Amino acid sequence: MITYIYGYPRLGSKREYKFLIEKFWKKVISQKELIDELSSLEEKNRNECTKFIDKVVEGEMTFYSEILDTAILFGILNPKNLEEYYEFCRGKNALEMKKWFNTNYHYLVVDFNKLDKFELKNNLDNIALIFKKKAKFPSFIGPYTFLKLSKGLDINSFKKYLFDMIEILNGIISKYDEVHIEEPAFVFEVSQDEVKLIKEAYSKLDKGRKVYLVSYYDSVDFIDVLYDLPFYGLGFDFIRGEENLEFILKNKFPKDKVLIAGVVDGRNIWKTNLKNVLEILIKLKNITENIFISNAAPLYHLPISIFYEEGIPQDIKRCICFAKERLEELKNIKKLTLKEDIFDDNCDLEKIIDKYKNEEVKNRVKNLSPNDFIKQVSYRDRREIQKNILNLPIFPTTTIGSFPQSEEVRSKRNEYINGKISYDDYEKFIFNQIDKLIEYQESLGLDVLVHGEFERTDMVEFFAFKMNGFLTTKNGWVLSYGTRVYRPPIIYADVSRKGPMTINEITYAQSKTKKPVKGMLTGPVTILAWSFNREDIPIYEVAYQIALALKEEIEDYEKNGIKIVQVDEPAFREKAPIKKRKWDEYFEWAIKAFNLATNTKPETQIHTHMCYSEFSEIIKYINLLDFDVITIESSRSKGEIINAFKNINFEKQIGIGVWDIHSPSNIDKKEVFQIVERVLNVVPYTNIWLNPDCGLKTRRWEEINQPLQTIIEVANVLRKKFKDT
Ligand code: GLN
Ligand code: ZN
C-alpha cells in the first residue's frame, strides 16, 4: 500500500509564507527574491512530507490563490509580473472573494462578465505558475470546479469552455508523467445534464497520462461515471463522504484504476482511530488491490504541528493531530497494513472526555424543552415594547461593531499577552479607546453606538479564551485567504462561561453615553464554524452548550442596563453542508441554537449580522431566526440581496450595508440613495436601518470618516423626506 498526500499547508511553521508576500508588497524584497524564497519554503514543506509519505503532490505553492492560478493557467487572465498578479488579489480592482466550499478558506471569483477579451490557451509559462511548471508531479484545479465557481457564464459558454479547457489540459499534462487534478465541485449535487457533460468532456482526457483525480469534502453522487473515464487514480473523502465508501464497497472498483482512500481527516484535529481505518482497508482490499492511503481533504485547513505547542495538557495533546501529525498517521497506517509494529502514544479520548466533563452543562442541555427555543412574545409585540424604550428616529444609523485596530491597539495587546503590562494597565488603555470612540460616534450623530471591540483578537478566539471547554494555541495558524491567518480554538469538553465575558467593556461604554450601546457577541454557529469541534457528542449539543453560555451573557447585559445586543452569525451560511439535501437537518439545529441564545427579555432588542455569503439561497432559514433587526452586507451587489427578502414576507427590521468596508475609498451619496431606493421597494421605511457592510477593524481611522458621515447625511435627508408620510 502506498501513502499519498496533497494540500500540505504552505504557510510554514513560522508563517514564512505570510511574511514573505507581505515583504514583497512593502517592496522590501524583489520579485526574484520572493520566487526564490517561496521555492525554498515549498521544498522545505515537501521534505517534511517525503519523510513520511511515498507520493507527495508538488507544485501546490501559489503566490495567493489556486483559483486565480487556474484562470491564468488557461490564459483567461494573464498578468505580466507579480505586481500585476497581486492587482487581482487586493486593492481597487481586486476580484471578489468567496468562501471555498463549506470552509473558512476563500478563493478569488473570476467573473466572466467583467473580463477583458481573452483567448483560452495553455499559459503554463506565465510567471505566476512557476511552481507548477518546474514540478514533476504537479497539482491542478480541474476545469469543472473552476468553471462552477466562476461567475457570469451561461450554459453554452460553460459547456464550450469545459471542452476547450480539457483539450488545453491535455497539452499541459503531456509534459509530465503524472499529474494530480482536484475536482472538489464533483461533490456538489450535480444535475444529470452536468454529469453527462462531465462524462463527455473528461472522456477526451489523454489516456496516456497518469491522472489522479481527487474529490473531497463530501461524497460524489456519480462515482460510477468516473469509473468509465480515463483517470489513472480516483480519490475520495471517506471521512466526510461516508456514501463514497458505501458505494465502493457495494459496487466494486475498476481493476485498472488506483483507489486513493482519504482516511485521515483534513478538517478536524482528532487523532484517527487507526483500528477503524485498518478495518476499512481490509474491506477495501477485498475489492481492489490498488489502494493508496491518503488525507481525506487538503491538510491546509489544519495548523502545521502540535508538537511545539506549549500549555496544552499532555493527555489532550496526545490526541491532537495537526498536518504534520497526519503524515505520521498515514505512515503508521501503512505499517499496520504490513503488520509492522508502530509506536502508540496512548491517546485515550474517552478518558479525557470523562475527566473534563461538566454534568451541570450536560443536564441543562438534556433538560431543554421546546419553549427554550421559542420566544414567548411575538416580534410585533416586542417591537412596540422596544420602540418605547429605545426611542430611535426613523432610519436609525449604527455600525457593525469593530473600529480600526490601530498598530497601537495591537501592540498594547501584545504587551499585555507577553506580560509586559498588567491587566489593569491594559484595561485602562482599552477604556481610554472606548472613551474616544464614544465621543467620536456621538460627534458623528450615530444612533446606536458600539464599544469598538478593541480588546478582541478575533471574534471567535476572544470568546474561546473566556469559556471552559476550549483550548487555544500559540502557533496554530491556518490560512484564511491570501496572507491572512487565524488560530481556530479547539473545543474538547463541555462548554460554559468562566464568568462574564464582555460585560465590563460594554457597560463601561454605556456609562459614557445616553445613547444605547450594543452588546456584541459572536453567535453559536460561527463559534462552531471557526473552531475545531469535539466529535464524541452530536454537533447540536455543542451548539446548545455555547448558546446557553451566550444566553447567560445576554442576561448579564440585561441586569446591567444594556438594551440592544448583536449576535453575529457571519458563518451561518458557510457551515451549511455542501449537499442541499442535508440542509434541513443542519439549519434545524443552527436556528435553534441562535434562538436559544437570544431567548431573553422581550425588552432587549436582538440584532444579528451576516456578511459575505450567498444569502438568497438560505433566506427562508434566516427568516426562522427570531431576531428583531438584521444587519446584512449588501453594498457590493448594490442592494440586490433585498429581492430575496421580498419572497418571504419579511416583517422585521433590516440594516442594509451601504458601504463596502473592504474598499478604502470614499462612498458616493448617490449610490447610497440608490441602495435605499431598492430596499424601499420591499421593506416599509419604518423598518430600515443604515450601516456599513461589516466591522471596520481592517480599515484605518482616516478612511472611515467620510463614509460614516455620508451614511448619517443620507439618513437625515430620508428622515425629512418621510417625516410627514
Ligand atoms: N462585530 C464584528 C465586527 O464588527 C462582526 C465581524 C464579522 O461579521 N465578521 O468586527
Ligand atoms: Zn460582517
At 91 the pLDDT is: 79
Task: Report DSSP state, residue 519.
Answer: E
Grid cell for residue 339: 503488520
pLDDT digit string (tens) for 208-235?
999 999 999 999 999 999 999 999 999 9
Instruction: Give 60-85 pLDDT, tens digit per residue.
Output: 999 999 999 999 999 999 999 999 99
Tell how far the Cα of 614 is from the centroid of ligand 1, in angstroms.
Answer: 17
Burial label for 354, CB within 10 Å (0-12, 13-18, 19+), is: exposed
Cα-to-centroid distance, 693 and ligand 2 (Å): 6
**Is any atom of ligand 1 closer than 6 Å to the C-beta of 570?**
yes
Residue among 403, 405, 409, 453 whose CB has most ligand 1 atoms within 8 A, to mutate: 453
3-state SS class at 72: helix
Residue nearest to atom 5 of ligand 1 (CA): 695
Residue among 99, 399, 402, 463 whose CB has most ligand 1 atoms within 8 A, to mutate? 402
pLDDT of res. 349: 83
Q: Is 459 in the pocket of ligand 1 (CB under 6 A)?
A: yes
Q: Is 695 in the pocket of ligand 1 (CB under 6 A)?
A: yes
Give per-residue pLDDT as tens, 96-114.
888 999 999 999 999 999 9
pLDDT at 345 over 80: no
Going by alpha carbons, the residue nearest to atom 10 of ligand 1 is: 695
Say if residue 637's pLDDT is above 80.
Answer: no
pLDDT category, 153, cuts 50, 70, 90? very high
Residue with grid cell 513560522, as numbered in its chain: 14
Task: With a cut of 90, say whether residue 350 has pLDDT above it.
Answer: no
- Are 574 and 99 in contact by the 8 Å Cβ rule? The answer is yes
- CATH fold of 2-355, please? TIM Barrel (3.20.20)
C-alpha of residue 451 to centroid of ligand 1, in Å: 13
- Give the mean pLDDT of 617-641: 89
Measure CA of the first residue to CA of the last residue in the chain; give whole Å: 76
Residue 546 has pLDDT above 70, yes or no: yes
Per-residue pLDDT averaged across 523-527, rounded? 98
Ligand 1 pocket, 521 CB below 6 A?
no
The angle that helices 16-25 and 31-50 make with each other, rounded to 10 degrees, is 170
Q: With a 6 A CB cut-off, is 523 part of the ligand 1 pocket?
A: no
Percent of the chain surpassing pLDDT 90 = 90
pLDDT of residue 42: 98
pLDDT at residue 649, rounded to an integer: 86
What number does CATH give the domain 359-722? 3.20.20.210
Share of residues in the chain with pLDDT > 70 (%): 99
Query: How far does residue 4's CA lie from ligand 2's centre (Å)?
Result: 38
Q: What pLDDT, on a 0 to 100 scale, did the predictor assign at position 724?
A: 60
Distance 633 CA to ligand 2 centre (A): 7
Say yes or no to pLDDT of 507 above 80. Answer: yes
Per the annotation, the verdict on 609 as an active-site residue is no
- State residue 500's pLDDT score: 98
* The pLDDT value given to residue 37: 98
Average pLDDT, whole number, for the chain? 95
Tell which one of 564, 694, 704 to mutate to probe ligand 1, the residue whose CB is within 8 A of the most ligand atoms: 694
Check pocket membership of 692 for ligand 1, CB cut-off 6 A. Answer: no
State the cell numbers at 187: 461533490
Nearest CA to ligand 1 atom 4: 695
pLDDT higher than threshold 90 for residue 119: yes
Would the CATH topology of 2-355 be identical to that of 359-722?
Answer: yes
Whole-angstrom CA distances from 426 to 149, 417, 422, 436, 696 are 45, 10, 6, 16, 22
The pLDDT of 503-511, averaged and rounded, is 98
> Does 451 sit in the ligand 1 pocket, CB within 6 Å?
no
The domain limits of the chain are 2-355, 359-722
Residue 697 beta carbon below 6 angstroms from any ligand 1 atom: yes
